[in-house]
Amino acid sequence: MTINQYALHVAGYIQSRRPELSWQACMYMAWRVAHCKYAMRTERVSFSYIKLNGQIRDAIGTTHLADVPADKHPKGLVPPEDQFITVSYFDLEKQEWRSFRTDFFIDKQ
């Protein structure tokens, strides 16, 4: 899937969760999520999101397996129905896998 296709799907999900936002705002948010997710494939990325309890979480994460300890490598794939709802990443501070909902993403730093 290309980054364009991913961003369109994420924008659709965000608009379904946050109908008060315009399509333009949903696309802008989706592009920020997409750039963060795709950057994590090759590097460590600093970003922020809102946790389910309402707290803002600043994180440094990656999905680049060279930066993930071998015993923490994923055992399987993300189910297709979840790929636009959440972004999974390896938290380099906590040394654990974490995820956040795409509609709670704040920004990549």
The confidence score (pLDDT) of residue 83 equals 79
C-alpha span between 91 and 47 (Å, rounded): 11
Mean pLDDT, range 39-58, rounded to an integer: 95
pLDDT digits (tens, 9 = 90+) for 68-96: 999 998 887 766 656 788 999 999 999 99
Question: What is the pTM for the complete model shown?
Answer: 0.87
**Count of CB atoms within 10 A of residue 34's CB?**
23
